[in-house]
Amino acid sequence: MRKVAIIGCGMTKFGKHENATLMDLLTEASLKALDDSNLDNKQIDAVYVGNMGSLLLNHQTGLATALTANLNLLPAAVDTVQNGTASGSSAIKNGFLAVASGYFDKVLVAAGEKMRVTTGNEITDFIATMTHPEAEYAQGVTLPSLAGMFTRLYMHKYGVERKHLAMVAAKNHKNALKNPYAHIHKAVTVDDILYPEKSGIKNPVIADPLRLYDCCPVSDGAASVILCPLEEAKKYIDTPVEIIGFGQATEVQAVHEREDPTEIKSLRIAAKKAFEIAKVEPKDVDVAELHDAFTILEIAESEEAGFFKKGEGHKALEEGLTEIGGKIPINPSGGLKARGHPVGATGAAQIVELVWQLRNEAGERQVENAEIGFSCNFFSFGSNVVAFVLKRGD
Amino acid sequence: MNETEKRMIGYRCKRCGRIYYPKHAVCMNCDSREFEKVELGDKCKLITYTKLYATPKGVEEKPLILGIVEFENGVRATGQLTSENVEIGMKMKPVWGFLRKIDSKEVYGFKFKPAT
Ligand SMILES: [Zn+2]
């Protein structure tokens, strides 16, 4: 296995892109990444594109083939990768393995989604196709409903309160204010969220006990990275970022079949594997991008990834340990909650944020002296989890 | 069969006896591929629930009450609840009924109703 570096990255602003097609978004992110890497087009020998729903939402398939022709990267070997809401991370995994194996040298990974093309009830139905067809989907189960049931259990078992959920949202909204790429630029306090009748914000119940401010928005956007062998990386960029760890693990499809429905064993296994390969421990991580599609998930994931003991994530949050400047800043980008969640793009956007953080290019949201970063990206409610550990190269 | 006589079915591994819902092709406990259908019974309790206001396309009713129940044999199932006056630990029982539309086709299955 060769060591693999990220030598370029780029992304579009996340949000509602009325006048751009999905291909426009993938193209913009990829051209930025190519420019950032200083590579010549003709050096790219493989492309992986992550996306969940272009067939259903955009009447298009084979995104990687179309992108490759659009960018004049022909005749590169390319594939489109679909792993639901973890498609972005899975596309990067494919690129990582391709370079690590020695088969390909310079790889472009792009990931994007254009979701703001239809109604909310169609989008929640589209996302729900990741659930078990008979045991969940047929019942009307959606991702927010799984999150609502999980939150109620978590509150019951660990004493998590609504104020803790609001703390996740308030923190991530605050971070996103300093991220020009974020979908939502709106400051909210914990009290604004808890007392909407007083603050005047709209915070309707989505899946009780979860409200609007507990759920990520529906976004359009794309993110791209360029990979090459670490030993060559310095030829193209002063500060390469090495992918030092990768882990992935799966769980039963129907959430009710989990041995303990308050645990996300797949993340625990994926993170453990990623840390083992990386030869670092959770305590060594300086900055993390977690999959906070729902506020409860940031709390649960901060535990399963190994940053805090099970049932203590909300206490760490209360102590400010996960803020920028805290012991382990989580989601300095604003996370899915505020950077937004163009589903197939999210895993790649997490990596782009970590690269900027590790290169000390994250501007006002920079985590000081960040050397090691961690990301995790969920398919559905964690039935397939992809985790990475990144390190600033010298 | 009369609708009121429908029984919720699980799948028991013929080798180790573990019961599954939904069905699996290979037993997660012993790798056997042989299963037989068993009735899950009509006694279960509510583990957790939610009131879903952001319903998917195909579900007209708002809010849609969803929950996870656990049968006496330990098997769990996810499903719609017939009442919003529920709490964790409450005794429930499966009842047959309309669930939702998928591609404008009506889908029927088991929901859960408070047993008291
Ligand atoms: Zn068995």
pLDDT above 80 (res A394): no
- Smallest Cα distance from B65 to chain A, Å: 9
CB B78 to CB A135 under 8 A?
A: yes
Say if residue B6's pLDDT is above 90.
Answer: no
| Inter-chain residue contact A207 with B53, CB threshold 8 Å | yes
CB A376 within 8 A of CB A386: yes
Give the nearest chain A residue to B71 (CA atoms): A256
| pLDDT tens digits, A22-71 | 999 999 999 999 999 999 989 999 999 999 999 999 999 999 999 999 99
Give yes or no for residue B2 having a pLDDT over 80: no
Partners of B52 on chain A (C-beta within 8 Å) are 140, 142, 144-145, 148, 206-208
Give the Å distance between the CA of B56 and the centre of ligand 1: 36
Q: Which residues of B touch A138 (CB under 8 A)?
A: 99-100, 102, 107, 109
| pTM across the whole model | 0.98
CA distance A335 to A387: 15
Which of B22, B54, B66 lies closest to A141 in CB terms? B66
Cα torsion at A70, A74, A78, A82 (round to 10°)?
0
Q: Does pLDDT of A231 surpass 80?
A: yes
Confidence of residue A138 (pLDDT cuts 50, 70, 90): very high
Distance in Å, CA B38 to ligand 1 centroid: 14
First to last CA, chain A: 20
Q: What is the dihedral of CA A130, A133, A138, A143, to 10 degrees?
A: -20
Rounded Cα gap, residues A48 and A34, in angstroms: 14
Which residues in chain B touch residue A148, judged by CB atoms under 8 angstroms apart? Answer: 50-52, 66
What confidence tens digit (pLDDT) does each residue in A273-299 have? 999 999 999 999 999 999 999 999 999
B62-111 residue pLDDT tens: 999 999 999 999 999 999 999 999 999 999 999 999 999 999 999 999 99
- The answer on pLDDT for A154 being more than 80 is yes
Beta strands, E only, chain A: 4-11, 46-50, 77-81, 107-114, 205-207, 210-211, 220-229, 241-250, 287-289, 372-379, 384-392
The answer to whether ipTM exceeds 0.90 is yes
Mean of the per-residue pLDDT values of chain B: 95
Provide the pLDDT for residue A83.
98
pLDDT at B1: 53
Side-chain half-sphere CA neighbours of A124 within 13 A: 24
8-state DSSP, B110: E
The topology under which CATH files domain A4-118+218-233 is Peroxisomal Thiolase; Chain A, domain 1 (3.40.47)
Residues A148, B79: C-beta atoms closer than 8 Å: no
A70-119 pLDDT, tens digit per residue, is 999 999 999 999 999 999 999 999 999 999 999 999 999 999 999 999 99
| A241-250 and A4-11 strand pairing | antiparallel
Residues of B in contact with A125 (CB under 8 A): 56-58
Q: How many Cβ contacts (< 8 angstroms) between chains A and B?
A: 113
Q: Model confidence over A348-384: pLDDT tens digits?
A: 999 999 999 999 999 999 999 999 999 999 999 999 9
pLDDT at residue A69, as a whole number: 98
In 3D, which of A127, A112, A126, A85 has the Cα closest to residue A17? A112
Separation of CA A384 and ligand 1 centre (Å): 23
pLDDT at A114: 98
A383 CA → ligand 1 middle, Å: 22
SS3 A232: helix
Q: For residue range A233-258, what is the model confidence (pLDDT) as tens digits?
A: 999 999 999 999 999 999 999 999 99
Please tell me which of the candidates B21, B49, B100 has its beta carbon nearest to residue A138.
Answer: B100
Q: Are B50 and A149 a contacting pair at CB < 8 A?
A: yes
Confidence of residue A1 (pLDDT cuts 50, 70, 90): very high
Q: Which residues of A touch B (CB under 8 A)?
A: 119-122, 124-125, 128, 132, 134-142, 144-145, 148-150, 152-153, 156, 204-210, 252, 254-257, 261
Distance between CA atoms of residues A91 and A80, nearest Å: 8
The beta-carbon neighbor of B56 closest among A142, A149, A204 is A142
Q: How far is B116 from chain A (nearest CA, A)?
A: 22
